Amino acid sequence: MCDIIWCKKEAGGKPCDTVNYLDPYCFWNWEGKVGCAECGTVYYVHMIQGHMYRGPVEKPGEKPDILPLYADKPYKGYDFYLPGVEGRTRPFDCLPREIYLGHADTVKFSIRGKPLRGWRPQPPSTGVAGSCGFFWDIEKLSPEVWAEYQEKIKKGEVKDW
């Protein structure tokens, strides 16, 4: 789901009629100016949690902060501008925001406090690709997790349901 700016600006005696798609990945909590992919009209947009809070308001004579990722012209047989068209759309780099970079969280215990055997990194003694089979001797394979589990039992953090 994404928001759009449908540009109706007159360009060359005809309306622009370009649908500029504002993908929620980049425009989730965003405030700034977006340029139309066809005519270059600049619109001010303020989005909060993926919803249009203010705008689009036309800002003539200003430069856009960002371009849409994709745009099309539905009344012209679906002409479109794919990501990376120079001067019209921005490139799609497939890079996550800095808050998503890093490593996966290590989860060693379930919500009830029981040890899980799918956490990483698995010790080499678990075999190929961590395949312990049906029997998982936590005390022998992961002594540090076993010690932590015993502490959770003493504190009363382990529940059956």
What does the domain layout of the chain look like in residue ranges?
3-95, 103-161
pLDDT at 132 over 70: no
Tell whether the model's pLDDT for residue 16 goes beyond 90: no
C-beta separation of 90 from 67 below 8 A:
yes
Mean pLDDT over residues 100-105, rounded? 61
Over the chain, what is the mean pLDDT? 80
3-state DSSP assignment of residue 142: coil
Q: How far is CA 96 from the centre of its chain?
A: 6
Average pLDDT over residues 119-147: 66
Name the band, by pLDDT with cuts 50, 70 and 90, for residue 39: confident
Q: How confident is the model at residue 35 (pLDDT cuts 50, 70, 90)?
A: very high
Sheet arrangement for strand 79-81: 3-7, 18-22, 70-73, 79-81
* Model pLDDT, residue 43: 93
Q: 21 or 102, which is more confident?
A: 21
Please, which contacts does 25-30 make with residues 24 or more away whose CB atoms are closer than 8 Å? 26/66, 26/69, 27/2, 27/3
Question: SS3 of 135, please?
Answer: coil
Query: What are the phi and psi torsion angles at 42 (to 5°)?
Result: -100, 130
pLDDT score of 93: 67
The predicted pLDDT at position 23 comes to: 83
- Mean pLDDT throughout 75-92? 83
Check whether 122 has a pLDDT greater than 80.
no
